[in-house]
Structure 1
Amino acid sequence: MSSSTYIDSLPYYDKQLDDPSLKAAAQSLIEAELRNTPQINDNDERIPKSIDVFPKSSELSSLLNEYPKKTIKSIDPTKYQPPSISSESTLEELKEAEKLSKISEGHMTLRLENTNLLSNYSPNAWLIRNFQLSSQVKELEESLNQIKEEIININRNRRIYQEDKGKLLNKYENKWQDLISSNVQLEMACKAMNIEVESLKRREEILQKQVNELEV
């Protein structure tokens, strides 16, 4: 069978498939046909690509994947505490404490700047991002509704097509049955005529024989 052959079942017309035995026989034929039909690969260009609606970074994905088994660690505040020194601290310890203090001061200054930036710009950024997400959700919902409508139209058209073809099949089936019935009746009439012809021939022979006897 050519791969371009159009194959379609008629579930809206073929009610015979409600019979379990006929359904099993039809299923075996379908499986045999599928074994000879070219299969579509998962990477076929006709298959829609999967869409990640809410993409996550690899770090966040790893963190969320490990969360059920591994509890997320809280922030360790000890590394941000000022170093402790005493009157007996050595010069090296004092230098190390000064270095840590400058690092903590720089870190806290950067945190304060980030906090100020966040308080100034994050509300608008949050609103803009929400607007973008709402627009994306709306587009996806419209696409989903459009696809659902296309599916409904396809099923509706298939049902109309199958019911029309079912009427045509019924017409052809009735015509075929009428032709078969006519052929059977014609064959029976021919046999009856042959019997009658044979009977007339035998009668003719008898009458001819009687005529010959009278002439003698």
Structure 2
Amino acid sequence: MALNAIEGTSRPDVDIDALPYIDRELDDAEMKVTVERMIEQEMRRMKRKERSDLPLSIDLFEKDEILKQEIERIKKKEQLNALDTKRYELQGPEDESDLDGWRAAVNNTKSQLESQAGSMFNLELLQKYGANAWRVHNFQLEKDLADIKKNTESLRNQILEINRERKNDQTEAASLLASLENKWSDLITQNLQVDIACAALESEVDELRRYKESLQQN
């Protein structure tokens, strides 16, 4: 993996040349200032768009008329009439001689009585079975919480293992890079020595050639 990180064979489309566990150049204040200056210069050369690609406005819920009306109500800061409380009021008609009004009032009273009876029945069911239902619900929540904690711990361990492998791989890569850098320095030194020796030999050859020419002239 270290070789892949160096040579880039695992991802040929990506040039991986950073080893965050090893590189410490940015710890140097002068280097950090230099990098920030280069980034700023690069940003100045970037072309800026006069207009953003994002739309200026978004038409929310254009296919849902109800939600669209609700958004408009919120924009206008109008109150929400979510519940019609008048139907829960037991009132007679304003005109006491209105027979249809009395029938509607009686029907409304009957519906309220049925609603109250249903509420009482639900309360009885809650008193009888509610505690066990809540125990089962809490047990399910505790089980879900335990599963989430287990998965979280597993993911945390995976992250730690990945970071540990990255650090080990980069440490190995650092050793290899140091070895290659030393080898490169040795080769450069040898090349310089060869160049110096070649220059000395060329100078000696030129000197011998001039000496030979002087002998021939004499």
Q: TM-score normalised to the size of structure 2? A: 0.60
Quick one: which amino acid aligns to residue 183 of structure 1? Answer: N
Q: Which residue of 2 aligns with 1:12?
A: 21
SS state of the match for residue 111, structure 1? helix
The root-mean-square deviation of aligned C-alpha atoms, in Å, is 4.0
Aligned-pair distance for 1:157? 1.0
Identity %: 27
> Counterparts of 1:107-146 in structure 2 under 5 Å?
107-146=115-154
- CA deviation after TM superposition for structure 1 residue 151, in Å: 1.4
Residue 13 to residue 137, structure 1, CA distance change in 2 (3 Å): same
Alpha-carbon distance, 1:101 to partner: 3.7
Matched pairs, number: 170
Are residue 185 (structure 1) and residue 187 (structure 2) matched? no
Q: Confirm or deny: 8 A CA contact 1:80 1:104 kept in the other structure.
A: no
Q: Which amino acid aligns with 2:128?
A: N
1:158 counterpart (166, 184, 190) = 166
Equivalent residues in 2 for 1:76-87, closer than 5 Å: 79=88, 81=90
How far 1:196 moved relative to its partner?
2.2
Radius of gyration: which is bigger? 1
TM-score (norm 1): 0.61
Structure 1 gap segments, 5+ residues each: 30-61, 211-216
Displacement of 1:130 after TM fit?
1.4
**Matching residue's letter, 2:124:** N
Distance 2:36 2:161 in 1: 27
Instruction: Report the Cα offset of residue 14 of structure 1.
Output: 2.4
What is the alpha-carbon distance in structure 2 between the residues aligned to residue 170 and residue 28 of structure 1?
Answer: 32
Contact 2:22–2:174 (CA under 8 A) maintained in structure 1? yes
Residue ranges of structure 2 left out of the alignment (5+ in a row): 1-7, 43-69
* Highest RCO, 1 vs 2 (Cα 8 Å, sep ≥ 6): 2
